[in-house]
Structure 1
Amino acid sequence: MVLASGSPRRHALLARIGVVPVSILPPEIDESPLRQELPRQLAGRLSQAKARTVMAAEPAALVLAADTVVGVGRRILPKAETEAQARECLALLSGRRHRVYTGVALGLPDGRLLTRVVESIVTFQRLSPAQLEAYVASGEWRGKAGGYTIQESAEAFVRFLSGSYSNVVGLPLHETAQLLRGVGWLRP
C-alpha cells in the first residue's frame, strides 16, 4: 500500500488500525477550489486527484489518499499558511458551528477508485482575543485546514462535536477501515 499523503497525522491514524504503508508518496496537485465548488465537493475531488496522481506513478499498488476541508456554510476555509490567515479562520470559527469534510479515495491496481466523503460538525466556543492570540502564537495552525488542529490545544475550544473525531484530525478511521476491508486488504 502507498499512502498518497505527506501528513504525519494520517500516517499515525493508520497505525492505530494496524495499517503501515509500504511507502509514502505525497502528490503535487493544485488544491485550489473551483468556481462555485462547495467544501464537500472539494474534499472529494482533491482526494480523488491525489489518488489518481499516485496511481499513475505506482500502477500496481493499492493507493490511499485523503484530503480534509473545513467549511462554514458554502465558504471554504484555507489551510492557513500565515498568522493573518490563522486569525481570520479562528475569528470566523469563534462561537460558530462549522463542518469538517474528509474525502478518502482508495485506488486499486485494476484502476478502480473507491471513494467516501465523511462529514463531522464542530462548534467552537467564543474565543477571547487573548485565546485567539495565544493559539496563533502556538503555531499549531500552520498548514492546517481551517487554521486549527483539534488534537492539540484547540481541542479546548470545542464545545460540540458530532461525527468522527478522527475525521476532524484528518482521516476517518471507520470509513477507511471499511474501504480496506471491502477490498480484502484489512482483516475484519
Structure 2
Amino acid sequence: MRLILASASPRRRQLLEEAGFAIEVDPSGVEEPEPDGPVDAASYVAELAWRKAHAVASRRGSGLILAADTTCALDGLLLNKPVDRDHAERMLLAQEGREVAILTGLCLYRADLLEWAGAVETSIVHVRRMTDAERLAHLDSGRWEGKAGAYGVQDDDPFVTVVSGSWSNVVGLPMERLEQLLRDHPTLSDAPRR
C-alpha cells in the first residue's frame, strides 16, 4: 500500500517501511504551537494530526495521506519537542521517577474523496531517576533533539521503559492502531483513484 507521509520524521518513515508500506514523504509544514497551559492531550494530538493531513490533502488533491502528532502528558501539561538543551533538561527532570503518558494522534485522509479517519493511541512509560552524569551524557548526545519528552525508546535510552501500550506509539507512530484504522475504513485505501 502507498501512503503519503505528512511528516519528515525518519522514525515514522522507518516504521512504515519496515511494515511494507511504500512511502512518499510530504511534510505538512503545519505549525505545532506550544499550549499556554493545561490542555486535553488527546484532543491536542488529534487536532494537530488532522490539520497536518488536511494541509497535505488540500495541496495534493489525491492520494492517501497519513499524519501523526505525538506528545508526552504529565500533570496536565504537554511535553513536546524541546526547543533547546536547557528545555530538554527541564523536561527530563520533571519526568524522572514518574510514569508519563505518551499520546499519538493519527489521521488517514483520502484527498480525492475528502474522507478521513482518526484515532488516538496512549502508552505509558516509566522514566527512572538518572544520575547527574547520566543526564549530562544524554544531553551531550543530542538524542533528545526533535523528540517529544526529550528521549526516544528506539535509541535504547536506558532510563525509559514502556510500562503499557504500544512500543511503536512511543517512537511516534502506533503501527497496531494504524493497521486497525485501515481495516476499519477500507474505502480510504480501496477507492479508485482519479
Match of 1:57 among 47, 56, 59: 59
What is the one-letter code of the residue matched to 1:31?
Answer: E
For the 8 Å contact 1:80–1:142, the answer to whether it is kept is yes
Equivalent residue number for residue 170 of structure 1:
172
Q: CA deviation at 1:42?
A: 1.2
Match of 2:130 among 127, 131, 139: 127
For the 8 Å contact 1:33–1:42, the answer to whether it is kept is no
Equivalent residue number for residue 137 of structure 1:
140
Equivalent residue number for residue 114 of structure 1:
117
User: Secondary structure of the equivalent of 1:146?
Assistant: helix
What is the one-letter code of the residue matched to 2:133?
Answer: A
Q: CA deviation at 1:33?
A: 4.1
Q: CA deviation at 1:112?
A: 1.4
Equivalent residue number for residue 46 of structure 1:
48
Query: How far apart are the structure 1 equivalents of 2:146 and 2:16?
Result: 20
Q: CA deviation at 1:69?
A: 0.7
User: Secondary structure of the equivalent of 1:37?
Assistant: coil
For the 8 Å contact 1:125–1:157, the answer to whether it is kept is yes
For the 8 Å contact 2:35–2:78, the answer to whether it is kept is no
- Calculate the TM-score normalised by the size of structure 1: 0.92
Q: Residues 132-185 of structure 1: CA distance to partner in whole angstroms, max 9, x if unpaired?
A: 11100110000111111111142x112452000000001000111122233443
For the 8 Å contact 2:97–2:127, the answer to whether it is kept is yes
Equivalent residue number for residue 183 of structure 2:
181
Query: How far apart are the structure 1 equivalents of 2:46 and 2:5?
Result: 16
What is the one-letter code of the residue matched to 1:72?
Answer: L
Query: How far apart are the structure 2 equivalents of 1:160 and 1:177?
Result: 21
Q: Residues 6-26 of structure 1: CA distance to partner in whole angstroms, max 9, x if unpaired?
A: 1010011011221112x2110
Equivalent residue number for residue 82 of structure 2:
80
Q: Residues 33-87 of structure 1: CA distance to partner in whole angstroms, max 9, x if unpaired?
A: 4554222221111101000000101121111100101110211113013110110
- Distance of aligned partners of 1:143 and 1:159 in 2 relative to their CA distance in 1, 3 Å threshold: closer
User: Secondary structure of the equivalent of 2:173?
Assistant: coil
- Distance of aligned partners of 1:62 and 1:162 in 2 relative to their CA distance in 1, 3 Å threshold: same
1:148 to 2:176 alignment: no
For the 8 Å contact 1:39–1:71, the answer to whether it is kept is yes
Which 5+ residue runs of structure 1 have no aligned equivalent?
A: none
Equivalent residue number for residue 32 of structure 2:
31
- Calculate the TM-score normalised by the size of structure 2: 0.89
CA RMSD across the alignment: 1.6
- Distance of aligned partners of 1:141 and 1:31 in 2 relative to their CA distance in 1, 3 Å threshold: same
Query: How far apart are the structure 2 equivalents of 1:64 and 1:70?
Result: 21
Identical aligned residues as a percent:
34
